[in-house]
Amino acid sequence: MKLGIIFGGVSYEHEISIVSAIAMKDVINVQIEYIFLDENRDFYHIPTDTIKSKLFSSSEYKKCQKLLLQKDGFFTQAGFLSKPKKLEADVYLNMMHGGDGEDGVIASLLEFNNLDFIGPRKEACTVSFNKFLTKGYAHSVNVKTIDYKYFTKDDEILIEDFPVIIKPVRLGSSIGVSVVKSKEELEYALDVAFEFDDAIIIEPFVNGIKEYNLAACKIAGEFEFSIIEEPQKAEFLDFDKKYLDFARTSTALKADISKELEEKIKEKFKAIYNTQFEGALIRCDFFVKDDEVYLNEINPVPGSMANYLFSNFDEVIKKLSKSLPKTRKILINYEYVNKIQASKGK
């Protein structure tokens, strides 16, 4: 199998996507074709044997072959005397974190051009990229979330009970997130969050709450679960701690929880995944308080594809690549138009 990994994108998480994509070389035993989307939204074919993070920070990647996304694949740009050549790949993996990758942009392009890909589809991106919409989606499938308030830049924001946690609505990797313990800290935290987004959510910060991460996908109608991990953290899992996860390739430790709690978390995951996320391997982060399970967030393109939560990640990706949703074929036969014309005697 030849796997095309698409990464980069116009996003605050652009660099994280690079680190995450490079890590795939060590955990997927297939031929990989790397496809990089730069800040100008130009695609480049990056040779697998030379890919490294410095290639991008130095802009050396611009010496690589440019690609064009067209119907049925990526093609090299034709020269004066040459024809476009198709980059051979059997399936593509969306590894763009944040904008372009998790907001539905690349999913729309891949679907429009008839490419098979592993990753969230348009509707899944809509409900997972926006934390405000995620809350509503979770409640619609009977999964609880922590209480929250939604604000935009134009709103008056008054908080009486501290501590709280402030999050940009459309951002991941804990970028722009702050724990605020007093009114004196509020203004600065709001400035930080609004630097990255024009909308935020504010939740109560609950000390001592347990957090668990679970990744999975659906293959031939059955769930393929990872272990459940309890991430080790101080106050909350900030950007610096998360950043280290994007290059993780060693298997994490399984959380020491009861079988009953494990099943509860898996049932909530199934409710979230539903049919909405078919074709994607996602990670859900849950809170547990007083034996109740709450959804914290959905990671539709998790860091390093959460490979470290699986003992058989290579096998899971290969099986998922053969169990992707198909676009419904719609027959256009102009029957309605022809009836109208016939009724008019034309």
Residue 45 above 90 pLDDT? Answer: yes
Structure tokens at 271: 């409710």
Residue 49 above 70 pLDDT? Answer: yes
263 and 299 fall within a common domain: yes
Residue 249 above 70 pLDDT? Answer: no
- Residue 265 in contact with residue 226, Cβ under 8 Å? no
189 and 41 fall within a common domain: no
Confidence class of residue 327 from pLDDT cuts 50, 70 and 90? confident
Tell me what the mean pLDDT of segment 29-52 comes to.
Answer: 97
CATH number at residue 169: 3.30.1490.20
Tell me what the mean pLDDT of segment 216-239 comes to.
Answer: 84
Name the CA radius of gyration of the chain, rounded. Answer: 22
131 and 248 fall within a common domain: yes
pLDDT at 98: 92
Model confidence pLDDT, tens digit, residues 256-289: 999 999 999 999 999 999 999 999 999 999 999 9
Tell me what the mean pLDDT of segment 9-33 comes to.
Answer: 95
Domain span at residue 268 reads 127-138+208-321
- Residue 67 in contact with residue 44, Cβ under 8 Å? yes
C-alpha 73/C-alpha 90 separation (Å) is: 10
pLDDT at 83: 82
Residue 130 above 90 pLDDT? Answer: yes
pLDDT at 189: 94
Residue 246 above 90 pLDDT? Answer: no
End-to-end, the C-alpha distance of the chain in Å comes to: 53
pLDDT at 224: 98
Cβ neighbours of residue 220 closer than 8 Å, sequence gap 6 or more: 323
Tell me what the mean pLDDT of segment 122-144 comes to.
Answer: 96
Structure tokens at 268: 């909530």
104 and 32 fall within a common domain: yes
Tell me what the mean pLDDT of segment 310-315 comes to.
Answer: 96
| Cβ count near 76 (within 10 Å) | 16
Residue 76 above 60 pLDDT? Answer: yes
164 and 55 fall within a common domain: no
pLDDT at 251: 77
Task: Tell me the pairing of strands 2-8 and 31-37.
Answer: parallel
Average model confidence (pLDDT) across the chain: 92
C-alpha 105/C-alpha 36 separation (Å) is: 15
Residue 78 above 90 pLDDT? Answer: no
Structure tokens at 343: 């009724």
Of 167, 185, 204, which marks where a domain is finished? 204
Comparison of pLDDT for 240 and 268, the residue scoring more:
268
pLDDT at 344: 72
E strand or H helix that includes residue 21: helix 14-23
Residue 106's region, left for phi above 0, alpha for psi from -120 to 50, else beta, is alpha
pLDDT at 257: 97
Model confidence pLDDT, tens digit, residues 277-286: 999 999 999 9
The DSSP 8-state label assigned to residue 306 in this structure reads: G
| Cβ count near 303 (within 10 Å) | 26
Confidence class of residue 312 from pLDDT cuts 50, 70 and 90? very high
| Cβ count near 71 (within 10 Å) | 9
pLDDT at 82: 74
pLDDT at 235: 56
Q: Tell me phi and psi for residue 199, to 5 degrees.
A: -145, 150
Distances (CA, A) of 182 to 46, 154, 158, 165, 191: 48, 22, 12, 11, 15
Tell me what the mean pLDDT of segment 287-314 comes to.
Answer: 96
Domain annotation covers residue 346: no
Q: Residues of the chain with pLDDT > 70: what percent?
A: 93
pLDDT at 248: 64
Confidence class of residue 339 from pLDDT cuts 50, 70 and 90? confident
Cβ neighbours of residue 280 closer than 8 Å, sequence gap 6 or more: 118, 119, 120, 121, 124, 217, 300, 301
- Alpha-helical regions (H) of 197-285: 239-245, 259-273
Domain annotation covers residue 101: yes
C-alpha 229/C-alpha 105 separation (Å) is: 30
pTM exceeds 0.85, yes or no:
yes
CATH number at residue 212: 3.30.470.20
Confidence class of residue 234 from pLDDT cuts 50, 70 and 90? low
C-alpha 163/C-alpha 161 separation (Å) is: 7
Cβ neighbours of residue 68 closer than 8 Å, sequence gap 6 or more: 43, 74, 75, 76, 77, 84
76 and 174 fall within a common domain: no
Cβ neighbours of residue 124 closer than 8 Å, sequence gap 6 or more: 276, 277, 280, 300
Domain annotation covers residue 144: no
pLDDT at 192: 94
C-alpha 181/C-alpha 162 separation (Å) is: 5
CATH number at residue 6: 3.40.50.20
Confidence class of residue 343 from pLDDT cuts 50, 70 and 90? confident
Residue 325 above 60 pLDDT? Answer: yes
216 and 198 fall within a common domain: no
Between 138-147, 220-229, 296-305, 322-331, the lowest mean confidence (pLDDT) is in 322-331
